[in-house]
Structure 1
Amino acid sequence: MRLFHTSDWHLGQNLHGQDRDFEHGCFLEWLLRQLKLDQPDVLLIAGDIFDTVNPPVKAQERLYDFIVGAHEQQPSLTIVMIAGNHDSGSRIELPAPLMRRLRTHALGRVLWLDDGQLDAERLLLPLPDASGEIRAWCLALPFLRPAEVTGAQLGDNYLRGIGQVHEWLIAAANAKRTPGQALIAISHAHMAGGSVSEDSERSLIIGNAEALPASLFGSTISYVALGHLHKPQKVNGEERIRYSGSPIPLSFSEINYQHQILDVKLDGETLLSVEPKLIPRAVNLQRIGPAPLAEILLQLAELPNTDLLEDLQRQPWLEVRVRLDEPQPDLRYQVETTLQGKAVRLVRIAAEYAGTGRNDGADDNATLIELDQLSPQELFSRAWQDNYGSEVDEQTLKDFVELLQDVQMEREQP
Structure 2
Amino acid sequence: MKIIHTADWHLGQSFKGEKRLQEQSLFLDWLLNIIETEEIDALLIAGDVFDITNPPTESIKMFYDFVKKVSSKATQCRIYLISGNHDSTSRLDAPKELLLTHNCYSIAYPDLENISSELFPLYEKGNNKPVAYLLALPYSGYGRFFQSIDYSEEMSKKLTELSKEAKKMHPELPLIGMAHLFAGKGTFNKDDDSLRNVGTLDQVKIGDCSFDYLALGHLHRQQSIESNFPARYSGSPITLSFAETGYRHGVDLITIENGEVKYQRQIEYNSPVKLVRIPEKGEVDAKKVIDQIKEISNQEDNELAPLVEIHINEVEKISSVLNDLRKAAKENNIRLTGIYSDFAQKFNQEFESERLNSTEELQGIACGSGIKLPEPQMMAEEYYQKLYSKEMPTDMRQALNDIIEEAKAL
Same fold per superposition (TM over 0.5): yes
Whether 1:230 and 2:225 are equivalent positions in the alignment is: no
CA RMSD of superposed structures (Å) = 3.5
Structure number with higher relative contact order (C-alpha < 8 Å, ≥ 6 residues apart): 1
Question: How many residues are paired up?
Answer: 373
Contact 1:50/1:87 (CA < 8 Å) preserved in 2? yes
Following the alignment from structure 2 to structure 1, what is the Cα–Cα distance between the partners of residues 317 and 366? 35
Deviation at 1:237, TM superposition (A): 7.4
- Give the TM-score of the pair, scaled to structure 2: 0.80
1:316 maps to amino acid: P
Q: What secondary structure sits across from 1:214 in the alignment?
A: coil
Map 1:4-403; keep pairs closer than 5 Å: 4-74=4-74, 76-111=76-111, 118-130=113-125, 131-146=127-142, 150=146, 157-179=150-172, 181-218=173-210, 221-236=211-226, 240-289=230-279, 290-300=283-293, 302-303=294-295, 306=298, 310-324=300-314, 328-353=318-343, 385=356, 389-390=361-362
Following the alignment from structure 2 to structure 1, what is the Cα–Cα distance between the partners of residues 366 and 321? 39
Contact 2:215/2:233 (CA < 8 Å) preserved in 1? yes
Following the alignment from structure 1 to structure 2, what is the Cα–Cα distance between the partners of residues 164 and 100? 31
User: CA deviation digits over 1:33-72, x for unaligned, max 9?
Assistant: 0111111211000111110111111111111110001011
Deviation at 1:217, TM superposition (A): 2.8
Following the alignment from structure 2 to structure 1, what is the Cα–Cα distance between the partners of residues 73 and 46? 22
User: CA deviation digits over 1:347-382, x for unaligned, max 9?
Assistant: 221222299xx8x7956xx9xxxxxxxxxxxxxx99
- Give the TM-score of the pair, scaled to structure 1: 0.80
Following the alignment from structure 1 to structure 2, what is the Cα–Cα distance between the partners of residues 2 and 394? 58
Contact 2:151/2:201 (CA < 8 Å) preserved in 1? no
Deviates more, 1:250-259 or 1:69-78: 69-78
User: CA deviation digits over 1:88-122, x for unaligned, max 9?
Assistant: 1222111111111111111112236xxxxx02111
Change (3 A) 1:168 1:383: farther
Contact 1:324/1:354 (CA < 8 Å) preserved in 2? no
1:119 maps to amino acid: N
Sequence identity (%): 26
Change (3 A) 1:185 1:75: same
Following the alignment from structure 1 to structure 2, what is the Cα–Cα distance between the partners of residues 408 and 80? 32
Contact 1:196/1:230 (CA < 8 Å) preserved in 2? yes
Following the alignment from structure 1 to structure 2, what is the Cα–Cα distance between the partners of residues 45 and 143? 12
2:117 maps to amino acid: R
Deviation at 1:215, TM superposition (A): 1.1
Change (3 A) 1:305 1:190: closer
Deviation at 1:74, TM superposition (A): 4.1
Contact 1:184/1:224 (CA < 8 Å) preserved in 2? yes
Following the alignment from structure 1 to structure 2, what is the Cα–Cα distance between the partners of residues 37 and 126? 24
1:102 maps to amino acid: H
Deviates more, 1:96-105 or 1:265-274: 265-274
2:362 maps to amino acid: S
Following the alignment from structure 1 to structure 2, what is the Cα–Cα distance between the partners of residues 132 and 313? 44
Contact 1:149/1:162 (CA < 8 Å) preserved in 2? no
